[in-house]
Chain A
């Protein structure tokens, strides 16, 4: 009796990885999923924070994919290790702060370590030649296989027929003829295959699954590094960049102003770590102050906080300023007018 071969599938929660895994499962291979959490994944966070997303289900699409496939999913926290990928990408950034090629090399390398530790035979991904401008090109896909150390243990079932033969095919564990030859940015072959497999309600995030591909998010990250004078971050930074309006009147401080109730609730968890303020005489949002503000800066922050409350047109607004130790005081300020806020303050 031949040995049961085992593959680990990189599961992002999107359609391509779902289809790639299903293609291999259907060839009798035992498949488990692996999902890496960098901190920048779109999955989860903003759905949990922002009220406007309440209409959409709060499901984690990687878990959903695994459940559709009937496979186990290993979710791995790589937040700390990922910092070096983001801060020093060998292959540079994409259109924003997305180090897509280095990211994929890193993830496949981690998957290679995982299969060695868990006695699995090969790795599968949902990559398609030409699908993405940086990491899924004909010239960069071999770079991922080589630099990750996976080499011919890396099989891309959706475009395998366009690529050199891999070990699982050469050894006869996989029938190459039953793999696919997808290429380019069109989604039609994937949608047809999803239909064939009977998959419905799968996730198709328009901007990919990573916040680093988002211009607004990337701008906030660059601003954070510039203000601190060094490229570093922790998980709280990653989360806070996803929440609220970010306004930087001066290099030494910025405001994070909640835009809605869900964000207020989320930011309340940080009250002991940041000076924070809200309008006392009118309804208004919670604002956190990140940095080292002077007294004069706090008065400017209070004017900005008042601007985003219901007292924006009042002559004066009382604002409560709360120190990190919870000590409160009240100041009375004139709300700043919209035309008094320079555009470059808005990050």
Chain B
């Protein structure tokens, strides 16, 4: 692991039961408290996040690492720019 990897923090944001755009707002507010390179896992129940959080990331330059859909939950893992 390089130096960046050693210092990288990983956080989880529970945005279940929130409907868009609230999960986006919570993600935006959480990312403001994090550093470049940090990883954020956002767990949601509104399928709209699969469109909105990646769009928000594209606009702001953050990188989507993975999206996971199950019947009841939608998880988005992003890296802060």
Contact = CB atoms under 8 A, between A and B. Distances in A.
B25 A63 contact: no
B21 A43 contact: yes
23 contacts: A41-B21, A44-B19, A48-B47, A48-B48, A49-B19, A57-B51, A58-B47, A58-B48, A58-B51, A58-B52, A59-B52, A59-B55, A60-B48, A60-B52, A60-B55, A62-B21, A63-B55, A71-B59, A72-B59, A73-B56, A75-B25, A77-B22, A239-B19
Interface of A: 35, 37, 41, 43-45, 47-49, 57-60, 62-64, 66-67, 71-77, 239, 269
Nearest to A66: B59
* Size range of the chain B interface in the assembly: 20 to 34
B44 to A, nearest CB: 10
B59 A67 contact: yes
The 10 closest A-B CB pairs, nearest first, are: A44-B20, A58-B48, A63-B55, A48-B48, A48-B46, A60-B52, A45-B19, A77-B25, A59-B51, A48-B19
B11 to A, nearest CB: 20
B30 interface: no
B69 interface: no
B67 interface: no
B14 interface: no
A209 B56 CA distance: 20
**Which of B19, B28, B47, B51 neighbours the largest number of chain A CB atoms within 10 Å of its CB?**
B19
A60 B59 CA distance: 13
A67 B45 CA distance: 24
Contact of A63 (B46, B47, B50, B56): B56
Contacts, number: 69
Nearest to B24: A75
Nearest to A269: B17
Nearest to B20: A44
Contacts of A43: 20-21
A75 B58 contact: no
B60 interface: yes
Interface string B10-51: 000000010111101100100000000000000001111011
A17 B20 CA distance: 20
Nearest to B52: A60
Contacts of B52: 44, 58-60, 63
A239 B20 CA distance: 11
A49 B20 CA distance: 10
A57 to B, nearest CB: 7
